[in-house]
Amino acid sequence: MLRSLVVMILAGITQIDLWVRLLRREPFYAVVSGFVPGNTPGVGTFYDFQDRLLGGAPQPRKRRVTRLTPQTKQALKEAKKQPSRKHVGVVARLATALRQGARHWEPHAVEVLLNGLLQVLCVAPTVAAGLLPPPVGVSGDGAKVATFANSYGQKACECPQRGCGCPRRFHDGEATTGYDAYHNRFVFGHTLYALTAWSPASKVELPIYLMRATGHRSDCVLGPLATHRAREIDGLEIVQGCFDGAHDAGGFYALGQQWEIALFIPLAGAPRKEDGPGDGGQDTDGTPLCLADRRMVADGYQADQRRYRWRCPLRKGPAQGDATTCPRYAECSPAKAGRIVYTHPDADPRLQCVPPRGTWGWQVVYNHRTASERTFARELYHLGLGQTRTHGGNRWFFRFLLTALAHYLITWHQHQGAA
């Protein structure tokens, strides 16, 4: 049954009823699925298999309608660019709970089961074949999918007037409204989040951990959770992580230090600091500024003292020139090497990362962040996940798994014999 559903995705079919008709009409698809031509399952059989795997069919739920006020819309839009103060606080509490081993943050049974299938069927064979080396980097991102259910619910009370405010029955009770930045629209549905593995030693980029959350859930919260759970995958060691500005929360950096995972996250709207090690403050990306308000040049990391060294931009770097022309030359250091300052990543891992933001080394690694976008492009548009019409959070999660399995099969076919 599972193989047949994956073949359905590869065949470009997103509706089970259409797939059942094709199985009965075309013996080729029946044989590829492992069925005897003329004796293929019906629609109900496929749904029964899916619902038994997921713990039951989605159940309607009563709740009040959430109105999208202008303030709510603005908050949802801003959360896609940078985490709000509320989300920063949530991540801080999450970081504390994960460090203490809190059990209430453990994944649900469906998430454990579906990711277990992904790891056994796909991740482990890919690592064994050498397509993914054990030390990998990851890129995390989320996507909004619209549920095939009414966002206004169904009237469940006997009030004669409309808009009475009573709880209504929603066929997809877990769906909420989130903002899809790519299409610039508000979506009533769910958030699908994926960690995509990449490596400079391989051209392969594949999802290794999947999550599903409500539509309004911020990537800022899902990123640390997914990374924490992906660290338990056998055969893989996560050494670097690339995320967009929506993940810029101090608690995530603290977790990265504890896990010994270098995080590459752009600062989302960080204000320029007026005080800093260069006496000119710090730029918005954490780079020290000299007395003349110039960005200082990175000059290597001293691992024994766990600090980064910075030098005068007129003594080193692309803007190197005559230091005596600087208007603050008389106030600067008289040393031959010019003014040297140090930043300590342990003191502020968010601002002072290794390698520093704005350097070539940081940008080379951060370029891998688009691996997650390519994963969603493959699954949403090429494999039909974006055209799927279903409802229920677990059913969406299962479709997410099917497209991930198909993604692996396509990659294996493209790289067969390369290992």
Does the pLDDT of residue 7 top 60, yes or no?
yes
Does the pLDDT of residue 328 top 70, yes or no?
yes
d(CA 372, CA 242): 9
Does the pLDDT of residue 117 top 80, yes or no?
yes
Here the tokens at position 213 are: 């959350």
Least confident of 69-83, 99-113, 278-292, 373-387: 278-292
pLDDT at 214: 92
Q: Which residues contact 378 (CB under 8 A, 6 or more apart)?
A: 403, 407, 410
Comparison of pLDDT for 102 and 87, the residue scoring more: 87
d(CA 387, CA 211): 19
Does the pLDDT of residue 346 top 80, yes or no?
no
φ and ψ at 243, to 5 degrees?
Answer: -140, 160
Domains of the chain, CATH where assigned: 2-54 (no CATH), 61-266+368-414 (3.30.420.10), 272-355 (no CATH)
Q: Which residues contact 291 (CB under 8 A, 6 or more apart)?
A: 278, 279, 280, 328, 331, 332, 339
Least confident of 46-55, 125-134, 280-289: 280-289
With pLDDT > 70 as the criterion, what percentage of the chain qualifies? Answer: 96
d(CA 32, CA 409): 14
Does the pLDDT of residue 11 top 70, yes or no?
yes
pLDDT confidence tier of residue 275, bands split at 50, 70 and 90 = low
What is the average pLDDT across 344-363? 81
Is 161 exposed, middle or buried, given 0-12, 13-18 or 19+ CB atoms closer than 10 A? exposed
d(CA 5, CA 40): 13
Here the tokens at position 372 are: 């997650």
pLDDT at 87: 87
pLDDT at 417: 60
Least confident of 3-7, 26-30, 177-181: 177-181
Does the pLDDT of residue 286 top 80, yes or no?
no
Comparison of pLDDT for 280 and 202, the residue scoring more: 202
Q: Residue 332 in 3-state DSSP?
A: coil
d(CA 193, CA 185): 18
The answer to whether 191 touches 142, Cβ cutoff 8 Å, is yes
d(CA 351, CA 6): 44
pLDDT at 59: 87
Comparison of pLDDT for 329 and 400, the residue scoring more: 400
Q: At what angle do helices 393-414 and 109-118 cross, to 10 degrees?
A: 10
Number of helices (H) and strands (E) in the chain: give both, helices first: 13, 11
pLDDT at 383: 95
Mean pLDDT of the chain: 89
pLDDT confidence tier of residue 276, bands split at 50, 70 and 90 = low
Comparison of pLDDT for 57 and 81, the residue scoring more: 57
The answer to whether 332 touches 290, Cβ cutoff 8 Å, is yes
pLDDT at 419: 45
Does the pLDDT of residue 77 top 50, yes or no?
yes
φ and ψ at 215, to 5 degrees?
Answer: -65, -30
Residue in 319, 316, 358 with CA at minimum distance from that of residue 338: 316
Provide DSSP, 224-292.
HHHHHHHTT-TT-EEEEEE--GGG--HHHHHHHHHHT-EEE---SSPPPBS--TTSS-B-TTS-BB-TT
Does the pLDDT of residue 314 top 50, yes or no?
yes
What is the average pLDDT across 383-397? 93
With pLDDT > 90 as the criterion, what percentage of the chain qualifies? Answer: 54
Least confident of 64-68, 139-143, 223-227: 64-68
pLDDT confidence tier of residue 301, bands split at 50, 70 and 90 = confident
How many residues can be counted in the chain?
419
Least confident of 131-135, 154-158, 224-228, 373-377: 154-158
Comparison of pLDDT for 162 and 119, the residue scoring more: 119
pLDDT at 237: 95
Q: Which residues contact 253 (CB under 8 A, 6 or more apart)?
A: 263, 265, 349, 350, 353
What is the average pLDDT across 142-156? 89
pLDDT confidence tier of residue 310, bands split at 50, 70 and 90 = confident
Residue in 353, 91, 407 with CA at minimum distance from that of residue 223: 91
Does the pLDDT of residue 337 top 90, yes or no?
no
Does the pLDDT of residue 23 top 70, yes or no?
yes
pLDDT in tens, 226-246: 999 999 999 999 999 999 989
What is the average pLDDT across 101-125? 91
